[in-house]
Amino acid sequence: MNDRAGRDIERMEFLLALRRRGIGDQAVLRAMEEVPRGQFVDRDFANTAYDDRALPIACGQTISQPYVVAYMTEQLALKPHHRVLEIGTGSGYQAAVLSRLAREVVSIERYRTLAGQARERLASLGYDNVEVMVGDGMLGCAAKAPFDRIIVTAAAEEVPQALIDQLADDGGMVVPVGPHNGPQRIIKLTKSTTPDGVTVAREEQIAVRFVPLLPGQAQEL
Ligand code: SAH
């Protein structure tokens, strides 16, 4: 079997595994098919890029497991006109997937090195509706708020209030919540305005393992 055929089979198995685990949204599956995960992992891991597991990236961080990327993306129920805020750019992979489904993605990373690499990678692959910023994502990005959707890809001990504030009316957020290195769950928040004021509905979803959401921009590179 030649390389090309091998890669095609690998991609088919990748999608099949997502379907088997319950990802049913065609647009999400298409985005997962289109974005080359191999380009977002270190060269040393290129041959396992399509396995359904998290992999190490620079600065002691991880690129999330494909199933969890697909799951959280599906839960966001993105529309083509949506503006999305992502906290935790990491490799830029999740941002690339979001960029296929939404109008604009703003992604914040606390490590300058990761933000720089992700920015370059996303530009070279042509994902030109993603803006990567360096900073503390716990504060969100007030200058560009409100956002139709917010996704946090690091585990928060509590959902940062700034992010709830920066969610548009009828906006939705998915965020892993739980102790660092302990049991965490994806929480889905939906904001709406009723005659009684703003309400935020909260749903608990799947159990996950994420690196921690930490305050402040990283002092290391
Ligand atoms: N979405 C990434 C996964 C990143 S892992 C991907 O697709 O590859 C989580 C990332 O969140 C790490 O890079 C970590 O540095 C970052 N992070 C943690 N706390 C943060 C904060 N307060 N603001 C911005 N980024 C943060």
Output the ligand 1 site: residues, CB below 6 A.
61-64, 87-88, 90-91, 93-94, 108-111, 114, 136-138, 153-154, 211, 213-215
Mutate to test the pocket of ligand 1, among 186, 213, 219 (most ligand atoms within 8 A of CB): 213
For CA atoms 214, 217, 219, 221, the dihedral sign is: positive
Interacting residues of 89 by C-beta distance below 8 A, sequence separation 6+: 95, 107, 108, 109, 114, 115, 118, 132
The region, left, alpha or beta by phi > 0 then psi within -120 to 50, assigned to residue 201 is beta
Cα of 153 from ligand 1 centre, angstroms = 6
Mutate to test the pocket of ligand 1, among 97, 153, 161, 219 (most ligand atoms within 8 A of CB): 153
Cα of 151 from ligand 1 centre, angstroms = 11
Cis peptide before 146 (omega within 30 of 0): yes
pTM, entire model: 0.97
Render each residue's pLDDT in the chain as its tens digit; 221 residues: 678 888 888 889 999 999 999 999 999 999 999 999 999 999 999 899 999 999 999 999 999 999 999 999 999 999 999 999 999 999 999 999 999 999 999 999 999 999 999 999 999 999 999 999 999 999 999 999 999 999 999 999 999 999 999 999 999 999 999 999 899 999 999 999 888 899 999 999 999 999 999 999 998 87
Cα of 27 from ligand 1 centre, angstroms = 25
* Amino acid identity for residue 171 in this structure: G
| Domain parsing of the chain, residue ranges | 3-208
Which architecture, in CATH terms, is 3-208?
Answer: 3-Layer(aba) Sandwich (3.40)
As a whole number of angstroms, the distance between CA 57 and CA 120 comes to 15
Interacting residues of 109 by C-beta distance below 8 A, sequence separation 6+: 88, 89, 90, 115, 118, 132, 133, 134, 137
Interacting residues of 131 by C-beta distance below 8 A, sequence separation 6+: 104, 105, 106, 107
Nearest of 164, 146, 58 to residue 106 by alpha carbon: 146
Is residue 64 annotated as a catalytic residue, yes or no?
yes
Predicted pLDDT of residue 108: 98
Residue whose Cα lies nearest atom 4 of ligand 1: it is: 90
Cα of 150 from ligand 1 centre, angstroms = 14
Residue whose Cα lies nearest atom 2 of ligand 1: it is: 90
Bridging pattern class, strands 167-177 and 184-194: antiparallel
* Amino acid identity for residue 1 in this structure: M
Predicted pLDDT of residue 190: 98
